């Protein structure tokens, strides 16, 4: 199977090859890296080849020029979209500017995520247009933030495209919980509901053990997120980004004390690591991967590729951002939710809901989904009135008098450079 990575010059990409190089049955896999910078994508190609020197994985590279992009995509069975229009410094703006309005900043959530979506969607849409022409039968896997909004926009504009978004957070949450409980995460029985980065495990069973109840009782977990008092009140374990929702003031205070945003930190790394890929030894390249942990490759992207390529049934749940399509009857068919899947015979199969979520969790999730419905429409149409309506509906925006100023920050000088 030919896999194409759009945004393949990202310095996190070699972590995918570190995963693939350890997997049996990868011989014959072909990966084409496509990036804007020829120099950088050649460096990632070199790093990938050195990492995979003992495997028969064919790695090539290309640039984003129109003709080369079409040629790179032809014959692809899987297209991974991980482009970051605007780069790390625009991400830094997404993260920092909401603080002026006493809101938590993030590249994928809140008004920071809205600013990111306004910037990235035109570029992603152009790329998906080329994908539909060059490899219309490929599975398209999105990583670009803000994931829920980008997936929803893609489904609006390319309704027949086989497309999913992926994120490792729910699975890594389960792994941490299972490690604390001394059980195997792969054997857990659970129910989960959410959108990307905002999800709740409201049932986690290991045989006769109820791990949600056990979490509340574990005294050593009282000072971590989520605190036991919150888990008890929710009857669920929320994923880490819900700290921005349940404890906004504490989170905002901590972020305000940071010397550099995450985007600024990544920018500094992006200026150091490519030189290692271009000139370093295999050992130096592998050691450099620890500078930028990228767990999503080993926890979801890599297993998905192996399931699709080798037909290997997934032993772990893969949390995919996809159309609801009747999965949760409380939401519209074209709403986008994060749904646990397992791969069987190269196809993703949804894990059925055994117990409906508590009413208060459904109510909170509904607010975010309604926001995304309106926000996606505003971004697709570049409609400022709809953008204002969307912002007024967001659960984190209480003072609507600031919306006009926020909108200016979202739309002005926000380009995919």
Could you name the CATH architecture of 2-166+271-309? 3-Layer(aba) Sandwich (3.40)
- Polymer length of the chain: 417
Contact yes or no for 286/273 (Cβ under 8 A): no
Low pLDDT (below 50) residues in the chain = none
Look up residue 167 and give its two tokens. Answer: 């994120």
CB 414 within 8 A of CB 119: yes
Output the furthest CA–CA distance in the chain (Å, rounded). Answer: 60
Question: pLDDT above 90 covers what percent of the chain?
Answer: 92
Angle, CA of 379, 385 and 390, to the nearest 5°: 60
Confidence (pLDDT) at 218:
80
Q: Structural domain boundaries of the chain?
A: 2-166+271-309
Collect all residues with Cβ–Cβ distance below 8 Å to 61 and sequence separation of at least 6: 8, 32, 33, 34, 35, 41, 42, 44, 45
8-state DSSP, 344: E
pLDDT of residue 125: 98
pLDDT of residue 52: 95
């Amino acid at each position: 199977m030919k896999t194409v990575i759009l945004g393949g010059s990202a310095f996190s990409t070699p972590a995918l090859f570190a995963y693939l190089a350890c997997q049996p049955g990868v011989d014959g896999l072909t990966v084409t890296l496509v990036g804007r910078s020829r120099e950088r994508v050649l460096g990632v190609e070199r790093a990938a080849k050195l990492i995979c020197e003992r495997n028969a994985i064919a790695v090539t590279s290309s640039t984003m020029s129109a003709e080369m992009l079409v040629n790179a995509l032809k014959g692809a069975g899987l297209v991974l979209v991980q482009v970051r229009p605007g780069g790390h410094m625009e991400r830094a703006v997404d993260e920092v500017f909401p603080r002026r309005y006493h809101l938590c900043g993030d590249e994928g959530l809140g008004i920071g995520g809205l600013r990111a979506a306004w910037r990235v969607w035109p570029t992603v849409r152009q790329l998906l247009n080329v994908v539909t022409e060059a490899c219309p039968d490929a599975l398209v896997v999105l990583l670009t933030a803000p994931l829920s909004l980008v997936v929803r926009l893609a489904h609006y504009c390319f309704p027949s495209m086989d497309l999913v978004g992926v994120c490792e957070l729910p699975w890594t949450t389960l792994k941490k919980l299972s490690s604390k409980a001394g059980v195997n995460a792969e054997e857990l029985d659970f129910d989960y509901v959410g959108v990307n980065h905002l999800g709740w495990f409201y049932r986690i069973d290991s045989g006769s053990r109820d791990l949600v109840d056990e979490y509340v009782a574990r005294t050593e977990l009282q000072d971590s997120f989520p605190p036991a008092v919150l888990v008890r009140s929710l009857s669920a374990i929320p994923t880490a980004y819900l700290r921005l929702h349940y404890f906004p003031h504490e989170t905002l205070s901590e972020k305000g004390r940071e010397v550099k945003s995450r985007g600024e930190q990544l920018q500094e790394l992006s200026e150091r690591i490519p030189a290692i890929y271009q000139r370093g030894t295999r050992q130096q390249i592998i050691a450099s991967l620890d500078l930028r942990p990228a767990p999503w490759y080993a926890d979801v992207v890599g297993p998905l590729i192996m399931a699709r390529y080798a037909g290997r049934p997934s032993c772990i749940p893969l949390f995919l951002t996809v159309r609801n399509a009747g999965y949760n009857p409380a939401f519209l068919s074209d709403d986008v939710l994060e749904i646990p899947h397992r791969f069987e015979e190269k196809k993703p199969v949804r894990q059925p809901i055994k117990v409906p979520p508590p009413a208060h969790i459904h109510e909170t999730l509904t607010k975010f989904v309604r926001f995304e419905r309106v926000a996606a429409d505003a971004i697709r149409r570049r409609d400022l009135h709809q953008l204002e309506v969307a912002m007024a509906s967001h659960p984190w925006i209480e003072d609507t008098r600031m919306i006009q100023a926020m909108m200016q920050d979202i739309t002005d000088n926000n380009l995919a450079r």
